[in-house]
């Protein structure tokens, strides 16, 4: 008899495949919203932060956030064998 919640045969569950493409698409939409004109127009002429216009600070922070989240999404992405130019050799029997 198998444990409740486990597949037949008692084999451990495998992790659900990563949805990298969907996450990147969601990130693209979020970036588009954060960098769209209506939101940017709210920051135009709002003053300075440490001598730098608020709009420039906002653009830099959004860019850094998008780059960081993209790195997190792609960090655990499995690479294809041989994609880096390494020759793994013949498969072992």
**Contact of 2 with 10, CB cutoff 8 Å:** yes
pLDDT over 60 (residue 48): yes
Domain spans, the chain: 20-75
Q: Hey, how many other C-beta atoms are within 10 angstroms of the C-beta on 70?
A: 15
pLDDT over 50 (residue 14): no
Spatial separation of the C-alpha atoms in residues 62 and 67, rounded to whole Å = 9
For 81, the enclosing helix (H) or strand (E) is none
Q: Report the chain's mean pLDDT, rounded to a whole number.
A: 79
Spatial separation of the C-alpha atoms in residues 34 and 63, rounded to whole Å = 10
Query: Which residue has better confidence, 41 or 90?
Result: 41
What pTM does this model have?
0.63
Q: How many residues does the chain have?
A: 93
% of the chain residues with pLDDT over 70 = 62
**Contact of 12 with 6, CB cutoff 8 Å:** yes
Q: What's the whole-number mean pLDDT along residues 59-65? A: 97
Residue 45 pLDDT: 85
């Amino acid at each position: 008899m198998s444990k409740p919640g486990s597949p037949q045969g008692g084999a451990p569950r495998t992790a659900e495949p990563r949805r990298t493409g969907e996450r990147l698409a969601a990130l693209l939409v979020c970036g588009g919203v954060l960098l769209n004109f209506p939101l940017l127009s709210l920051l135009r002429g709002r003053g300075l932060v440490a001598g730098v216009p608020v709009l420039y600070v906002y653009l830099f922070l959004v860019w850094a956030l998008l780059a960081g989240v993209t790195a997190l999404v792609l960090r655990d992405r499995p690479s294809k064998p041989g994609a880096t130019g390494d020759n793994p050799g013949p498969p072992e029997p």
